[in-house]
């Protein structure tokens, strides 16, 4: 039995996405239901951190005395490193827990593992786990503030915020009247869900497209519309987000071949011309060049892929500062 799993790959349970509630702002569990003012405040805060972070050797003691545990039960490069750097830049004490090499292999559960952390006076837990709803579960059982760093197919709220910041830059701060196309593996994408919740809350529209086997039947209930082809999704859009094929969360048989996927659904140079002038290209990473995104698009002038990474550090500073500010204020 895999003891790290709470609920296998089940959809997120009701209530898994109730976040930044007025009564308990220690946690950031998702973007679903977050009021537009809270999103805009976090984006403003991230912009201020971005300016500071661009100053060579900038650091502060804003989070001095706060202890953060980065608990990564699933692999990560961008999210884990940017949380660690944000914590260091803000002067927090921090430790990173990786599942490999831990006592999970001896049968310890995720909850007991994190009880170990909070027994050592950890204030905030940044958690990535393959089970949807696991951050909400931890928020109910631990005294620490919980920041969701990606839970299965549910949400990846700091990724959603960094995508909002990147699009706000490209769209001169305006979301109303703007349209983002999200193309690819929507079914397994927590990135798509957080982007849809955040963008629609701020007044933008989202159109999704991808192989029928990778689009959930109820996708439009998230607040987006569905296009039949990548061309239809991208025509007249103000930006496109290419999604990675999440083969680690995919059953076999959902795709004919990677070559066929790249031909039919890949973001190619010719397709960029379908979008409005000034439209941008996003990808959450890691990219599979030549599959969901052509190399010349990934490296092209429309690409904001590495701006997304820079914004990720600023957003994680803003979220850590926001959650830390509530410590001691919530009973």
Sign of the torsion formed by the C-alpha atoms of 157, 51, 179 and 233? negative
Q: Which of 41, 76, 95, 118 binds ligand CP (CB under 6 A)?
A: 76
* 79 makes contact with ligand CP (CB under 6 A): yes
Q: Which of residues 153-192 bind ligand CP (CB under 6 A)?
A: 156, 159
State in angstroms the smallest separation of the CB of 156 from ligand CP.
6
The nearer residue to ligand CP, 11 or 285, going by C-beta atoms, is: 285
Q: Which is nearer to ligand CP, 186 or 227 (CB)?
A: 186
> Pattern 99-138, binding to ligand CP, x per CB under 6 A?
----------------------------------------
Neighbour count for residue 8 (Cβ, 10 Å): 10
Q: Whole-angstrom Cα distance, residue 68 to residue 84?
A: 9
78 makes contact with ligand CP (CB under 6 A): yes
Which residue reads 């007991």 in tokens?
112
Stretch that binds ligand CP, among 77-85, 93-101, 129-137, 260-268 (CB under 6 A): 77-85
Helix (H, G, I), strand (E, B) or coil at 96: strand
Q: Check binding of 152 to ligand CP (CB under 6 A).
A: no
Q: How far is the CB of 311 from ligand CP (least distance, A)?
A: 12
**What's the rounded Cα separation, in Å, for the pair 84 and 314?**
12
Read off φ and ψ for residue 98, nearest 5 degrees. Answer: -110, 140
Q: Which two tokens stand for residue 174?
A: 């305006």
Piece of 6-14, 75-83, 229-237, 274-282 that binds ligand CP (CB under 6 A):
75-83
DSSP string, 177-195: T-EEEEES--TT-HHHHHH
> Kind and range of the H or E element at 85?
helix 78-89
Q: What burial class does residue 37 get, using C-beta atoms within 10 Å of its C-beta: 0-12 exposed, 13-18 middle, 19+ buried?
A: exposed
- Shortest distance, CB of residue 96 to ligand CP, whole angstroms? 13
Q: Assess 30 for contact with ligand CP (CB under 6 A).
A: no
3-state SS class at 245: coil
For 47, 204, 207, the CA distances from 277, given in Å and listed in that order, are 25, 17, 18
Judged by CB under 6 A, the number of residues near ligand CP is 10
- Site map (CB under 6 A) of ligand CP, residues 269-298, x = contact: ---------------xxx------------
Q: Residue from 21, 60, 77, 229 that binds ligand CP (CB under 6 A)?
A: 77
8-state DSSP, 95: E
Pick the stretch among 74-82, 93-101, 118-126, 270-278 that binds ligand CP (CB under 6 A): 74-82
CA dist., res. 129 & res. 161, Å (int):
19
Q: Quick one: 145 or 150, whose CB is closer to ligand CP?
A: 150
Q: Which of residues 218-277 bind ligand CP (CB under 6 A)?
A: none
Query: For residues 229 and 208, what is the distance between their CA atoms, to the nearest angstrom?
Result: 9
In the complex with ligand CP, the residue whose CB is nearer, 129 or 205, is 129
Residue ranges binding ligand CP (CB under 6 A): 76-79, 150, 156, 159, 284-286
């Amino acid at each position: 039995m895999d003891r790290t799993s709470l609920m296998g790959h089940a959809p997120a349970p009701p209530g898994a996405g109730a976040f930044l509630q007025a009564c308990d702002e220690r946690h950031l569990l998702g973007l679903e239901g977050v009021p537009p003012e809270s999103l805009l405040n976090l984006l403003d805060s991230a912009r201020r951190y971005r300016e500071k972070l661009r100053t060579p050797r900038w650091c502060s003691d804003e989070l001095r005395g706060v202890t953060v545990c980065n608990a990564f039960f699933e692999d990560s490069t961008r999210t884990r490193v940017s949380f660690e750097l944000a914590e260091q830049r803000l002067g927090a004490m921090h430790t990173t827990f990786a599942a490999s090499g831990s006592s999970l292999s001896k049968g310890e559960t995720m909850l007991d593992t994190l009880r170990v952390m909070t027994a050592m006076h950890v204030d905030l837990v940044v958690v990535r786990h393959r089970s949807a709803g696991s951050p909400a579960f931890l928020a109910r059982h631990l005294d620490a503030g919980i920041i969701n760093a990606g839970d299965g197919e549910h949400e990846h709220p700091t990724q959603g915020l960094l995508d909002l910041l990147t699009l706000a830059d490209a769209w001169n701060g305006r979301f109303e009247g703007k349209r983002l196309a999200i193309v690819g593996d929507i079914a397994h994408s927590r990135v798509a869900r957080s982007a849809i919740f955040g963008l629609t809350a701020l007044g933008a529209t989202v159109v999704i497209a991808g192989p029928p086997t990778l689009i959930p039947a109820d996708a439009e209930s998230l607040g987006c519309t569905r296009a039949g082809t990548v061309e239809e999704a991208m025509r007249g859009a103000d930006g496109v987000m290419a999604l990675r094929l999440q083969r680690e969360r995919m059953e076999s048989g959902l795709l004919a071949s990677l070559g066929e996927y790249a031909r039919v659904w890949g973001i190619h140079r010719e397709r960029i011309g379908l979008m409005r002038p000034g439209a941008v290209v996003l990808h959450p990473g890691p990219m599979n060049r030549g599959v969901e995104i052509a190399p010349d698009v990934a490296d092209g002038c429309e690409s904001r892929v590495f701006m997304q990474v820079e914004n990720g550090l600023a957003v994680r500073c803003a979220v850590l500062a926001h959650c830390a500010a509530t410590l001691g204020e919530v009973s």
